[in-house]
Chain A
Amino acid sequence: MTVPDDTDFAILRLLAEDAGQGAGAIGRACGLSQPAAWRRIKRLRDAGVIGGQRLVLDAEALGFGVTVFLGVKLATKGRVSLEDFERAVSAIPEVQTVEHVLGLYDYRLRVVARDLPDFERVLRRRIMTLPGAGEVEANVLLSEERRPGPLG
């Protein structure tokens, strides 16, 4: 796509806060006509800058009181294929995100659970039994904030 300008960045900031806003509202906020805003949003979407939409839920209100990040090291590199591990770990419903990383750990997992005993159950029955899983480090999430990032 053409290089995004400050107006595109302003649109992205608005949509990253609330993707439900129509082109009319976005246009008013950015000083564009509704059709002009619509064209820019479409361009950003077609170029893949907007990678999709996410429904933001209150995990705690839905009974998921604990979020834990796990650093997982593979114990038997070479013998277990990364694909097998990735397929198995991605199939665990409580595992929300799986990132392949380089450094102290091989994978970084975001796990939700109802409470700490529930987390222990997931850890023992589902994570520790994964093919190739070795050392695991757990950190309990206390707070998180998304930042707007380098937009303008």
Chain B
Amino acid sequence: MIFYIHAKIMLDDVDRRILRQWQADPSLAPAELAERARVSTGQLARRQARLRDAGVVKGVVAVIDWAVLGYAVEVSLRVTLDKTQGNAFDAFIVEARRVPEVIEIQTFLGRVDVRLSVIARDMGHYQHLYRSRILTLPHIADIEALMHVARIKSDKALPL
């Protein structure tokens, strides 16, 4: 099967095979990845370069396990903003970026406007952050907290 994407690059079955195996284990050595994707190492290198150049592959990043670094608590804060303030989104996000314990900022279309992932060493630390750094962020109309219990699936893989 062949499909077009933004008319930038055309992916064929070989590309998709490489992407599937690559995203399943990004730390594989090229020879091993080539074997799993059933291509030669030369072909793999050329295809990888092409996928990177086209911007389909943005890179490989290390995933930090914050719990191992002593951040035992993770809370998902769902924030509704006061949209009567014209710059509510921008002002909120600029300030949220200044809180080191905020590890992710997402904006949404829906009941939730912005979601922050906040990590803390323990509940005491979280409570302190919540009062001194989160509730003081500008233009908050409402906040709901979801306390993280367990990550069941986290590979973020695309169904290629």
Contacts and interface: CB of A to CB of B under 8 A. Distances in A.
Interface of A: 4, 12, 15-20, 47-64, 69, 71, 86, 89-90, 93-105, 107-108, 110, 112, 137-151
Interface of B: 3, 5-6, 8-9, 11, 19, 22-23, 26-27, 54-66, 68-69, 71, 76, 97, 100-112, 115, 119, 144-160
A90 B61 contact: no
A50 B60 CA distance: 13
B159 A112 contact: yes
A18 B8 CA distance: 24
A17 to B, nearest CB: 7
Contacts, number: 198
Contacts of B160: 62
7 contacts: A20-B59, A71-B146, A89-B153, A97-B155, A104-B144, A104-B146, A147-B102
Contacts of B106: 69, 141-145
A108 B144 CA distance: 14
B76 A53 contact: no
B153 A98 contact: yes
A99 B119 contact: no
A130 B141 CA distance: 33
